[in-house]
Amino acid sequence: MSKVKQYETVFILTPVLSDEQMRDAVEKFRKILTDNGAEIIHEENWVLKKLTYPILKKSTGFYHLFEFTAPTTLVSTLETEYRRDEKVMRFLTTALDKYAIDYNERKRKGLIGKKKEKEEKEA
């Protein structure tokens, strides 16, 4: 049996997709994760963002993030599906260490960035 780890994956979808096509693509990858034994902990849709540099002659893309726990063998399956899908321009999957897991939990609870906001209000 393979070991279970916590991961974070971000992928960028091409900007020429309609909202429905974008949602379908995200649902496809969510289904790949859940059908292969992953538990999705957190999900963020960063909508259409400007890219730092053009990818495939495109200057914007739809960003989406999944944070999940899964067997280590699932990552290769997921990344193979990213490569096969022409809608995906880029992707990155990272195994999270205990510090990244703690940081993400604190961020979801709203404990990250609060100090800066207080300092800005006082200034």
Contact indicator for 21, 87 with CB cutoff of 8 Å: yes
- CATH number for the domain whose boundaries are 4-122: 3.30.70.60
Summary mean pLDDT of the chain = 89
What is the spatial distance between Cα 28 and Cα 26, in angstroms, rounded to a whole number? 5
pLDDT of residue 79: 95
What is the spatial distance between Cα 123 and Cα 119, in angstroms, rounded to a whole number? 6
Q: Is the overall model pTM greater than 0.85, yes or no?
A: no
Query: Is the predicted pLDDT of residue 32 greater than 80, yes or no?
Result: yes
Q: pLDDT for 1-31, tens place per residue?
A: 568 899 999 999 999 999 899 999 999 999 9
Q: 31-35 long-range CB contacts below 8 Å, 24 or more apart?
A: 32/77, 32/78, 32/81, 33/66, 33/68, 33/70, 33/74, 33/78
Contact indicator for 67, 116 with CB cutoff of 8 Å: no
Q: pLDDT for 57-114, tens place per residue?
A: 999 999 999 999 999 899 999 999 999 999 999 999 999 999 999 999 998 888 887 6
